[in-house]
Amino acid sequence: MKKKISKDQILKNIYKNIDYFNLSLNKKKKIIKKRNYEIIGKKSKLDSLDLVIFFTQLENSFKKEFKINVKLLDIFFSLNEKKNLKDLNSIIKIIEKQK
């Protein structure tokens, strides 16, 4: 059974994962906790491996804490859907659809 999850809980979980993930990054690559922070694109400081690790971490976190199967990696590797994964707001919207 899925837990009910609010937008605030989603954001709190994402920010918690950002804090944890940033521990492994150098200062220049750290993710900024702003909803419009560009994860993928020209302004992003993350490489493909960083993104795979971060998205895997988020998927595992939401599955463990909220019993939600979020497929961020599927979207990331899909040519047609990758544009839907631009910033943190995009991730929130994707997770909200999974509730």
**pLDDT per residue as tens digits for the range 30-75:** 999 999 999 998 888 999 999 999 999 999 999 999 999 999 999 9
For the CA atoms of 7, 98, 83, 12, the dihedral, rounded to the nearest 10 degrees, stands at: 30
What is the pLDDT, as a whole number, of residue 4? Answer: 76
Which residues face 38 on adjacent strands?
Answer: 87
Number of helices followed by number of strands (H, E) in the chain: 4, 0
**pTM for the predicted model, two decimal places:** 0.89
What does the pLDDT read at residue 68? 92
